[in-house]
Amino acid sequence: MNEEKKVAGIYIRVSTEDQAREGFSLPEQEKRLRAMCEYKGYEIYKIYKDAGISAKTGNHRPAFEELKEDIKKKKVNTIVVLKLDRLTRSVYDMEDIMKFLEENNAYLDCANDDINTTNANGRMVARLLTTVSQNEIERTSERTKIGLAGAIKAGNIPHRAPFGYKHVDKKLVPDEATKDQIIRIFNLYYEGNSYQTISNLYNKEKVFGKTNWCDGTILKIIENEIYKGDFVHGKRTNNPTYYENVVEPIVSKELWEECQVQKKKNARNYKRDKEYLFLQKLKCPKCGRILGGNATRKKNGNIYYYYQCHDCKISIKETDIEKEFDNFINEIQEYDSVVNQTLLPMIKTKLNNPKDKLVKELNEQNQKFERIRKAYINGSFTIEEYDNEKEIVESTIKNLEEKIKECDLCNELKFTPEDILIKRDLDYINQLVYPEEYEENTYLWKDYTRSEKADLIMRYVDYIELEYYSKNKIRLGEVYFRESMCKPCNELYDAGFLAKTDYAILGNIVTKLRFSEYLPIEKVSEIVFTLREYYNVGYFEATYYYDNKVMYFNDYENRNIIRIFPLEDYRKMDKIDKLQLGVIYIGNDEKCLIENQEELFNTIPEKTNCRVYELDEETKKRKQEIEKEWIEMKEKSNEKK
């Protein structure tokens, strides 16, 4: 090949970030370099194009490698580029290129940088320009890392949202439609189930519409720090960066760490036989960290449970917590059995999943489905990727549609909030009058299995604060219930349809009384007369004085107070000196009025104003008394109005 004749290999490259910059498009580079070659009289052998590839060290550039091969074969003797940074931005790479050109009697010509490598000065200029270019890319990288770190700390995770999360305004937040299955995976694994067992279960149930769950998928979920609120950037690099508490966690850090410990065991052969009642519920009185669980098995086979803070070296027995927790447990158990299981099994679903929230989520999923479809049409997805994404979204949409149907069905239920109040009143009377029969017919806390106790606490308790009451003694502090229980309970209580138990002084005795909020007298009358279908309950009025916080009752020694409630809506009153209270009671020696006592424990009373019985003179007399009281109540109601 004639040395005086320059045979050019035009090399053009554009990275992803260059594509939007004016003058760096591939057609623009080619146009300008063709013009330069024509001006200098170079023969153009070939155009070598690398699209969407950065000039960083280590990046494979197929077209540039092809150009080097053609130089070795003496088909090309001059590399023509627009700028030196199109070729490389690394000093080390530049040295390799310069050595390669010298070994093959080839040259480099840059249109914008006026570089000529045929002499020592030209090679020095090329090296200096490369140094400046490398410095710029390193500074840009540093600025990018700083900006990325700030974004990650704000919850903007630069990755596709994993199962259980979704992106909202660029931030990663828990996805209400999928997060429960992630929690379930961690719980199943913590209990000793292997990856294979969990994946088989999920395939059987077609969770998220998928039947291709495998060991690896479960392992990735268990190992992913994002589920405890942390994020690791650059996991595959030598220097990954760990960010703590950057997103809302789906599981506690303690449960996540316990699962990592579980990984060290043989999950296929190990099954956890210990069940903690307050797992992930107790907070350390010193540092506020969630306590971990520990247990010891004695020679007699008994297991003793403890909860510990590894940082503060605090340990507390589970039995000590459970003793103090009994008061709360009874309330939870009653709520669970009466409200969720007997009367309104769907009220919690309705309150936890408001229809408008579900409809909004459904619209988002439909929009996501449309985006996936368009991405597939545009070639961004393969058919396999499209089918997987489509299956997940369709499963989520189906789940949301079922929840919306449940909300619609709630409106068709015949039961009302008043039924809850009547049923709980009746159960309370049953407990007073027939305590043994009540226990036989009611599934009480003491009858629960350990697994059922743990499940109830898991479902309704958010967390429990512990506190010191002496130098080294710890007791129960505040108990925080989940919104799924608090919200419906508080709404029912505020509306007057749920009673709460509180301490009061009755005479010289501290006792517990049931209180409920204001209801119109018509509603109260309906409740009283409904209860009188089963028991001869009485009604009278009392006065509560705000200054000395005293309620005045008459003849309370011979009466069992069922419930106390205000006769006026004091929340709408400007100033309160005293308040009239309604009191429902039953005599100490009263018995039920129906022949079949079993109905007391498994019936849901129907409301009635005054049901007429024509059985005997005693019943007629009762009817007249009820009618008289009813008229008096109505008259008082009219006077107040």
Pairing of strands 231-233, 559-566: unpaired
CATH homologous superfamily of 7-151: Resolvase, N-terminal catalytic domain (3.40.50.1390)
CA–CA distance, 247 with 259 (Å, rounded to integer): 20
CATH number belonging to domain 174-324 = 3.90.1750.20
Residue 413 — pLDDT band, cuts 50, 70, 90?
Answer: very low
CA–CA distance, 150 with 140 (Å, rounded to integer): 16
Query: pLDDT tens, 514-532?
Result: 889 998 888 888 888 889 9
Indicate the burial class of 322 (C-beta count within 10 angstroms; 0-12, 13-18, 19 or more).
middle
Residue 316 has pLDDT above 60, yes or no: yes
Domain boundaries, the chain: 7-151, 174-324, 347-410
Residue 343 has pLDDT above 50, yes or no: no
Coil/strand/helix, residue 451? helix
CA–CA distance, 246 with 227 (Å, rounded to integer): 11
pLDDT at 58: 54
Residue 327 — pLDDT band, cuts 50, 70, 90?
Answer: low
Which carries the bigger pLDDT value, residue 178 or residue 43? Answer: 43
Whether 15 sits among the annotated catalytic residues: the reply is yes
**Helix or strand run (H / E) with residue 502:** strand 500-506
Query: Per the residue annotation, which of 15, 25, 484, 637 is the catalytic one?
Result: 15
Mean pLDDT score, 299-314 = 84
Q: Is the dihedral of CA 23, 25, 26, 27 positive or negative?
A: negative
How many Cα atoms sit within 13 Å of 311 on the Cβ side? 10
Q: Which two tokens stand for residue 78?
A: 């001059």
Cα–Cα distances (Å) from 544 to 212, 547, 633, in that order, read 66, 9, 20
pLDDT at 346: 40
CA–CA distance, 559 with 561 (Å, rounded to integer): 6
Question: In 88-240, which ranges are E strands?
Answer: 107-110, 115-116, 165-168, 171-174, 231-233
Q: Which two tokens stand for residue 332?
A: 């939870």
Q: For residue 18, give the nearest of 56, 48, 69, 45 by alpha carbon.
A: 56
Mean pLDDT score, 330-342 = 56
Mean pLDDT score, 370-388 = 79
HEC string of 214-270 equals CHHHHHHHHHCHHHHCCEEECCCCCCCEEECCCCCCCCCHHHHHHHHHHHCCCCCCC
**Helix or strand run (H / E) with residue 341:** none
Query: pLDDT tens, 242-297?
Result: 888 878 888 887 788 878 877 765 544 444 556 788 877 888 888 888 888 888 88
Residue 72 has pLDDT above 90, yes or no: yes
**Helix or strand run (H / E) with residue 4:** none
Question: Which residue stretches of 495-591 are H helix?
Answer: 521-531
Residue 396 — pLDDT band, cuts 50, 70, 90?
Answer: confident
Q: Which two tokens stand for residue 24?
A: 């760096």
